Each structure stands twice: as C-alpha cells, then as structure tokens.
Amino acid sequence: MKVQENNEAIAKFGQIIANLGMAMSDSILWHLYNWRFDEKDIGNRQFLREYIGLMKMYLMINEKNQVIVGRLLKQFNEEGGRAETEEWLERAQENEIKVLESELLTLWNMGYTEEEVFTKGLIGKFQEIKDGLKTAVMKELDLWLARKRKKRELENESSEEEDEIDKIMISVCKTLLGTENELTKTDISRLLRLGFDQYEIVFDGLIREYKSVREKDDKEVHRVLYSHLISRGMSRNVNEEDTDESGSQRESEKENTRSEETQDENSFRKSETSSSEEEKSSDESEKLINTPGKISSEHSDSEQEKEENKKPTIKNTSNTNTYNTNTSNNRSN
C-alpha cells in the first residue's frame, strides 16, 4: 500500500514538472519526495533549477552528498528569493509600480528574471490572472513575454532600417550641398520610397527631371524618372511598377518569345520525323543488303513456280478407256 502511494506521488510530481516544460527521472524525483517537499515546491521553476544546480555540484552517488543537497535545498526554499525580491520591491517603488512583495516573490519562484518581471506591463498582466491555476498562469505569462520579445525584435529591425535611411539621406544632402540640385529631406525620402537609390538620385539630370514632375503623383514621377534612367543607358535591378508602355513592350516580347519557341518546337518535330523516316529507309536497305541468301532463295522459289506453270497438264484417262472397252464388248454381244 505504501509503495503504491509513493509511486502515485512520484507520478504526480512528474506531471507537474512536465507542465513546466521540464523533465526529471523518477529516481531524482524520489529524493524530493523523500525530503518531504510537496507539490507547491515542485511547481516552482526556481526551486527546480536550484535542485539541478546542486545535483551537478554534489554528485548523488552516496548518502553523504544526498544529505548535503537535501539540507541546502531546504535552506534555499526557506530563504531563497528574499534578497532578490527586496531589491525588486525597491525598484518597483522607485518607478511607482504598485506591487506587493509577496507577488514579486511568486514571480521569482516561477522562475522569471528581473528583466522579465520589469518588462512593461508584465506585473499588471500577472495581477490580472494570479488567482488562476499556477501552471496556467505561467503558460500565459510565458506566451505574453514571447509576444513582447517578437514585437521588440520587429521594432529593432524597423529602427535599423530607419537609421540606414537617415545615413543615406545625410550622404545625398552632403553630395548636393551648394549645387543647383539641392533637395529637401522630404524630396530625398520620397525618391528613396519610390525605389531609387542614392547613386541614381544624383545621376545626371535625374533631379532636374524630378523637379519638373514633383507635383505629379508617385506613379507618374516614377515613370518619368525610370524612363530618364533607361534613356541614359543606366540599367536598373529593381522591381518597381513600370510604365504602361514598358509593360506593353514586355508583353509583346513575351508573345514573340512564345512564338519563336513554338516555331522552334515544330521545326524540331519535323526534323525528328524526317530523321526517323531516313533511319527507317536506311535500316530496310541495310537488311536487303545484308540478307543475300534469303533473296536468292525467294528468287529460286519464284523461278520454280514459273517452270511448273509451263508444263502441260496430263489428264488421267485410264478410267475412261476402261469404260469405253466395256461398252464396246456389250454392244458386240
């Protein structure tokens, strides 16, 4: 009965740990059960991390080490997190964040770092859901933090792009400074947005063309400037919208290409057919050349048939003569 009770307790410990996204063998869990730690202790990620660290420090190969680990773990469970949460509470008060020390201790036991706890909005999120099941609360907080990290990464990427654009704008402004082609940052930003790079912007005559169509819409401005670059022999490797004219030209080129491919295919098929017929004729001629015995035999058979047809047909008259003799004798009698 006692063994069954122990096994059930170990199984429950394992399930709690699995819900935290961790895994431990039954033998390791057995020590926790033997040291009288309960499900509340097992449900704290910080407690489990401390246990794993102690096991690495004191190999659980003898009873002495097991006693040391158990004692240190109990001490950690009683005192652990107090110093950290006191510091966290001071930081929260300095930033006018309303939170209890017990709430900070709970977050610490759940395994969250100071940086995560003070992520803007996390404490408020925790206070909204803290009365729920502990594992469910941790899962929701983990998901909330993951979304925050993803958003921060996207913001950082966007910030890097903006910094790069600022560098380009400064470079173009310096290049055009003191010339008749000076542009405002707004104009440079517009040209960059339309897909023209810093080298194309300062290309011969492009700014003059831009100023002549500055009041037009973006599509018309892009068409004029794109045509200007093409007319000056500048090849572009960008995928912006082309003008209607260039689009029609591209469609015409596609049609010509398809037509040429069709003609090439038909010519290839005719060539294949002709080649096949020539090969067939060649094969038949080769067969005739390489089989003289057969030709001779066929010729001999034909000559023999002709000779037989020339021979006179000999009728069988023996029965007729016999009949005539018998008839003559009868008449004589």
Question: What are the extents of the domains in the chain?
Answer: 2-79, 95-154
Per-residue pLDDT averaged across 255-261, rounded? 53
pLDDT exceeds 80 at position 13: yes
38/178: higher pLDDT: 38
Q: Is 21 left (phi over 0), alpha (psi -120 to 50) or beta?
A: left
pLDDT, tens only, 297-306: 444 454 555 4
- Please give the helix or strand (H or E) that residue 182 lies within, else none: none
Rg of the chain in Å (alpha carbons):
50
* Nearest residue to 136 (alpha-carbon basis) of 149, 148, 126: 126
User: In whole angstroms, what is the distance from residue 188 CA to residue 201 CA?
Assistant: 8
Largest CA distance in the chain: 169
pLDDT tens for each residue of 86-100: 899 999 999 999 999
- DSSP letter at 204 equals T
**Using CA atoms, how far apart are residues 244 and 119, in angstroms rounded to an integer?**
51
* H/E element, 77: helix 63-79
What are the tens digits of pLDDT across the range 272-295? 555 555 555 545 544 444 444 444
**How much is the pLDDT for 15?**
86
Handedness of CA 57, 59, 60, 66 (dihedral sign): negative
Token code pair at residue 46: 């910080």
Q: Which residue has the tokens 């509340």?
A: 40
d(CA 73, CA 79): 10
Count, residues in the chain:
333
Give the pTM: 0.44
Q: Which two tokens stand for residue 315?
A: 């009728």
| Least confident residue range of 45-59, 215-229, 250-264, 303-317 | 303-317
- Output the pLDDT for position 214: 85
Give the integer Cα–Cα distance in Å for 11 and 83. 33
Listed ranges 87-96, 167-176, 227-236; the one with the highest mean pLDDT: 87-96
What is the mean pLDDT of the segment spanning 128-144? 91
Please tell me the least confidently modeled range out of 14-23, 72-81, 119-128, 303-312. 303-312
225 vs 140: CA distance, rounded Å: 52
Which one of 33-37, 120-124, 177-181, 307-311 scores highest in mean pLDDT?
120-124
| 52-89: pLDDT as tens digits | 888 888 877 688 888 888 899 888 887 777 888 889 99
Spatial distance between the Cα atoms of 147 and 149, rounded to a whole number of angstroms: 5
